[in-house]
Each structure stands twice: as C-alpha cells, then as structure tokens.
Amino acid sequence: MFALETKNNKIVSIVYMSTKLNIIEKADLLFRTYGIRSVTVDDICNACGISKKTIYKHYSDKYALANKSLEYHYDKLFKQINSIVENSSDAIETFFKISMHFRETLNDITPSFVHDLKKFHPDLYKIHQKSKEKLFVKTLQNVIRNGKDEGLIRSEINEDIISKLRIEMIEAGFNQDIFPHKDYNYMNIQTISFDLFLRGIVTEKGLYIYEKTLTTLKL
C-alpha cells in the first residue's frame, strides 16, 4: 500500500512539473514573439491547452510568469552558450557560433520585447540586465582572453570594455527609436554589427581566419 502511494505521489509530481514547464516554455515563446504587454493569460492558456485555474495554480499573475520565463530563458541560453564555447576550436569560431546562435534566436524575438521590459516592467528589466551581465559579458571576456592567448585577438584590447560595448551594440539594433522595425531588417543590423565588432579586435592572423570562416559558414 505504501509503495503504491509513493508511486502515485511520484506520478503526480511528474505531471505537476511537466505542466509547469509547459506553461513557462509557451509563455516565454509568446512573450518574445509578441512582447509581454500584448500577451494575455488567456493567450498562454490557449497555447498550453489548459484553463486559467491551472495557470494560477502555478503562478500568481502574468508578472510572475514573465519573471520565471526570463529565468528559464537565460538558464537555457547559458547552457547552450557554454556548449558552444566548449566545442569550438578557437576564439574566432566561438564568436561565429555564438553570433549564429543569436541570429537563430533573434528570429523569434520581437523588438517590442525589450521595449516592454524597459518601459512597463522596470524590475524585470533589471533582472534582464543582470542576467545579460552574467551570461554574455563574462562569456565574451573569457573568449577574448582566450583569443589573446591564441594570437587572434589584439593584446591591447580591454576585454571588459569591449565585451560591454558588444552587448550594447546588439541591444542598439533593437532600439526602435534608432532602427524602426518597419524600415530595417534586424538580422541585417546584427550581421553588420558583428562584422564591425570582430574586424575591430582581431590581429592579422585572426582576420585571416575570420575571412576564411566567412566563406565557409556564410554568416
């Protein structure tokens, strides 16, 4: 009898966690596709195929959902970026693969997502900024240091400043005051931004590898 109760409890726990993950995955996709402000709890319910009662069983409101979706997104992204760093042969390849990964990710993100965070959810925007600092800046700093050791990145480059400038370049591409989405292709902006960034920090050896990689990976 006890074994049966334990089994049933485990099944309930698995279903509970599966439902919770499904909600977060769908909410994260909707928020990034349409912006937090445009997405309603009803939209998330419809995407998940569940009732509002089930949503509120796990999360108190849309704000709590948005908060958790940010945490989920950055945790997933952190693992993906770490895998890229560990499986790249040098700094140039690492930068390329990270940039390509971002390009794929950007396909699902509306420019209004960051705008909504900054204007309507300043507390969530702070979380976004801190997560960005932890994931992107520190990762870029490490890649630049490795690139210096490999002779691919110029030795005088300040990795702290350059890493933060690179992140601001990426975010500037989403600034609708500078690049209204009706007039600009965000993928093109990010491609140009990456090219400008990398050409500005590589050595002659790094430039050779970069241009050779351009022809093979076709970024």
- Calculate mean pLDDT across residues 48-64: 92
The answer to whether residue 204 scores a pLDDT higher than 70 is yes
Q: Is residue 97 part of a domain?
A: yes
- Calculate mean pLDDT across residues 204-218: 87
pTM for this model (two decimals) = 0.75
Q: Is residue 20 part of a domain?
A: no
Q: Is residue 125 part of a domain?
A: yes
Query: Per the structure, how many domains does the chain have?
Result: 1
Q: Is residue 39 part of a domain?
A: no
Q: What is the pLDDT of residue 108?
A: 66
Q: Is residue 94 part of a domain?
A: yes
* Average pLDDT of every residue of the chain: 85
**Domain, as residue range, for 104:** 62-217
Q: Is residue 194 part of a domain?
A: yes
Split at pLDDT 50, 70, 90, the class of 5 is: very low
- Calculate mean pLDDT across residues 111-116: 76
Q: What is the CATH number of the domain that holds 146?
A: 1.10.357.10
Residue owning tokens 């704000």? 63
Q: Is the dihedral of CA 99, 104, 105, 109 positive or negative?
A: positive
Q: What is the pLDDT of residue 11?
A: 40
Q: What is the pLDDT of residue 121?
A: 86
Tokens of 213: 């990689």
Task: Please state which of the ranges 47-61, 118-132, 136-150 shows the lowest mean pLDDT.
Answer: 118-132
Q: How far is CA 217 from CA 57, 211, 212, in A?
A: 46, 10, 9
Q: Is residue 113 part of a domain?
A: yes
- Calculate mean pLDDT across residues 92-96: 93
Q: Is residue 160 part of a domain?
A: yes
CB 174 within 8 A of CB 184: no
Split at pLDDT 50, 70, 90, the class of 1 is: low
